[in-house]
Amino acid sequence: MPSKPARAWQRMLSGRRLDLLDPTPVDIEIDDIAHGLAFVARWNGQTRGDFPYSVAEHSLLVEALFARISPGAPAKWRLAALLHDAPEYVIGDMISPVKASVGPGYDELDKRLAAAIHIRFGLPAVIPKTVKARIKRADRISAWMEATQIAGFSEAEADKYFNRPKPELIEGLSITLRPPVDTRTAYTDRHATLLARMG
């Protein structure tokens, strides 16, 4: 008797059924993304504080940093920065050493989900390389801040892995730890603001 195929979809709180192997934009909802990311911990949860540092909180910081790196960037690229880790609402956040061990399968899954998410919110399926490079730069600055402020890295160690950012890029910014429901609201609010600016 043939074995049943493995289930490749997840039921979302919105009621959507998201096929992880063939995601479609119509099954993407911002409330599902915000909720999922607000409950996914960065650094495998190995951070100081009374609340985990979530991917949603990280994404808000990356968008703010991207705006400092590219002050003239249109709202659509700022939205791309906010959504840069959005696929993790269903596939979770793997630290870099684990991603390297898993191999190309994780990356392919991430790319398919990212394309569906981008299309859903009016972005190109694939973000231009120049924009993606600036988002990645903001991501690394965020990682340096997180590493030194809440993840137990010395500044010298963080410099080695993430590169020390220019002081003016991080001035006045700090790592925020708050209840997931607060972060979820902040994420959906920021998404709505950027989407309205695109219109």
Average pLDDT over residues 89-117: 80
Interatomic CA distance for residues 149 and 175, integer angstroms: 7
**118 located within any domain:** yes
Span 44-80, pLDDT tens digits: 999 999 999 999 999 999 999 999 999 999 999 999 9
Span 145-191, pLDDT tens digits: 999 999 999 999 999 999 999 999 999 999 989 999 999 999 999 99
Interatomic CA distance for residues 169 and 68, integer angstroms: 6
Interatomic CA distance for residues 132 and 136, integer angstroms: 6
CB within 8 A of 22, min separation 6: which ones?
112
**20 located within any domain:** no
**12 located within any domain:** no
pLDDT at residue number 104? 63
The band of 20, judged by pLDDT with boundaries at 50, 70 and 90, is: confident
This model's pTM is above 0.85 = yes
What CATH number is associated with residue 191? 1.10.3210.10
pLDDT at residue number 4? 67
Nearest to 120 by CA among 190, 37, 192, 27: 27
Residues linked to residue 17 through DSSP beta bridges, in sequence order: 11
- How many domains does the chain fold into? 1
**10 located within any domain:** no
CB within 8 A of 62, min separation 6: which ones?
81, 82, 84, 85, 135, 138, 139, 142
Domain extent at residue 82:
25-197
